[in-house]
Every structure is written in structure tokens, then in C-alpha cells.
Amino acid sequence: MPLTKAQTTKIAMSFPGAYESTSYGYPSFKIEKKFFTRLRSEDNSLVLVVGSIDEREMLLESDPELFHITPHYQNYPSVLARLHKLDAKTLRGMLERRWRQIASKKLLKQAAGT
């Protein structure tokens, strides 16, 4: 089932330490001042930072209807996901991976309940 912007926002904000902010003048979500994700009204997509450009290329090849990039993202390990093709499980999994990459050890411990 495709996600709405409201559902996407709710999922992003469900991660410990998430807050709404801006990135280069655009509304975004951050974790401890680090870029987490952002909705793109230009093409109704979500910016997702992935592990490498190779991983991004694999995603683009595996599901070109869901994942795409613009020339701006060509040199960055980021992929754009079309909201009308994105499901909650995929989004949550990709954001969880990003969250684990950027959350501080303190935040990771707090989230684990230790």
C-alpha cells in the first residue's frame, strides 16, 4: 500500500531522537543534527541515504519503478524512493539502517533500554 506524506512523516518521527528541521532550505528530518531523510515535493519522493553508490545502483536496477535519482544525487550514496510505490515495511527497514549509522552510542543505548 503506497504511503502518504503524513504516514512517511509519522514513520520518520518514530525513531528515537528524530526531529523536524531543514536541510539546504528544505524541510527534513534529522537525528542529533545529522541528516536522516527528507520528503521531496518536487517529485513526491523521499531521499534515502544508503551505504554506498554501489548499493544505490543495485537498488536502482532491482526496482526502477520505486527507486530513482536526479543529477543532483549522482555523486552521493543516496537514492530517491517514489512515495506511491513505497511501503511502510521497506521504509522502516531503510530508515532503521540509516538511524543506526548516525545515532550516537548514547542514543543507541537509550533505544535498547540499557
Q: Which domains does the chain have, with CATH numbers?
A: 5-106 (3.90.1150.30)
| Predicted pLDDT at 71 | 96
Distances (CA, A) of 86 to 7, 14, 16, 67, 104: 11, 17, 22, 9, 28
Neighbours of 5 (CB within 10 A): 12
Q: What is the tens place of the pLDDT at every residue in 8-36? A: 999 999 999 999 999 888 899 999 999 99
| Predicted pLDDT at 26 | 87
- Quick one: pLDDT band at residue 106, thresholds 50, 70, 90? very high
**103's grid cell:** 545515532
Above 80 in pLDDT, residue 6?
yes
| Predicted pLDDT at 25 | 86
| Predicted pLDDT at 33 | 94
Above 80 in pLDDT, residue 1?
no
Q: What is the tens place of the pLDDT at every residue in 52-86? A: 999 999 999 999 999 999 999 999 999 999 999 99
| Predicted pLDDT at 24 | 84
| Predicted pLDDT at 97 | 96
